[in-house]
A and B are shown apart, each in its own frame.
Chain A
Amino acid sequence: MAIYSRTIRANYRNAVSATYPVVRRIVGASLFRAAVDAYVDAHPSRSGDLNEYGDAFGDFLHCYPPSAELPYLPDVARLEWAVDEAYRAADGALAPDAVLGALSHVPADALPHVHLGLEPSSRLVASSFPLLRIWQVNQPGYDGDLRVDFTAGRHCMRIRREPNARCSECDDSGIMIERIDAAHFEWLSAIARGATLAEALERAVDTDPAFHLQTALQKFIGDGSIDRVVHAVAQVDGMETSVTGLKAPRD
Chain B
Amino acid sequence: MSGRSATGRDTRSDALGRKPSNHALPAAAGLGLRAPHVSHVLASHPPVAWFEVHSENYFAAGGPTLRALERIRSNYPLSLHGVGLSLGSTDALSRTHLHKLARLIARVEPALVSEHLCWCGVATRHFNDLLPLPFTEAALANVCAHIDEAQHCLGREIAVENISAYVAFDDSTMSEWEFVAAIVDRTGCKLLLDINNVYVNSVNHGFDAERYLAALPEAAIVEIHLAGFEAAGRCLIDTHGARVAPEVWALYRKTIARIGPRPTLIEWDVDIPAFAVLEAEAATAAAFLADCDAVAA
Contact = CB atoms under 8 A, between A and B. Distances in A.
Given A46-B124, A49-B56, A50-B84, A251 B97 contact: no
A48 B126 contact: yes
B94 A48 contact: yes
Nearest to A172: B64
B196 interface: no
Which 4 residue pairs are nearest across A and B when measured between Cβ atoms?
A48-B84, A91-B62, A88-B60, A90-B61
Given A51-B59, A89-B62, A173-B64, 10 more contacts: A3-B235, A7-B129, A8-B127, A8-B128, A15-B128, A47-B97, A48-B83, A49-B59, A50-B56, A51-B57
Contacts of A90: 61-62
A4 to B, nearest CB: 6
Nearest to A91: B62
Contact of A89 (B61, B97, B237): B61
30 contacts: A1-B166, A4-B131, A4-B166, A8-B127, A8-B129, A12-B128, A44-B125, A45-B121, A45-B125, A45-B126, A46-B125, A47-B84, A47-B94, A47-B97, A48-B86, A48-B94, A48-B126, A49-B56, A49-B59, A49-B96, A50-B128, A51-B57, A87-B63, A87-B65, A88-B60, A88-B62, A161-B63, A161-B64, A173-B64, A174-B64
A49 B61 contact: no
Contacts of B121: 45, 48
Nearest to A45: B126
Contacts of A120: 61-62
A251 B103 contact: yes
Contacts of B235: 3
B113 to A, nearest CB: 15
Interface residues of B, number: 32
Interface string B35-76: 000000000000000000000110111111100000000000
Contacts, number: 89
B144 interface: no
B120 interface: yes
A198 interface: no
B276 interface: no
Contacts of B62: 88-91, 120-121, 251
A6 to B, nearest CB: 9
Contacts of B184: none
Contacts of B232: 3
A45 B131 contact: no
Q: Secondary structure of the A side of the interface?
A: loop
B167 interface: yes
Contact of B126 (A47, A51, A87): A47
Q: Chain A contact residues (Cβ within 8 angstroms of B): what range?
A: 20 to 34
B167 A45 contact: no
A213 B46 CA distance: 53
B85 interface: yes
B56 A51 contact: yes
A1 B235 CA distance: 12
Contacts of A47: 84, 94, 96-97, 126
A242 B126 CA distance: 40
B125 to A, nearest CB: 5
A87 B67 CA distance: 12
A40 B235 CA distance: 27
A12 B125 CA distance: 14
B34 interface: no
Nearest to B35: A18
Contacts of B100: 49
A38 interface: no
Nearest to B107: A251
Contacts of A51: 56-57, 59-60
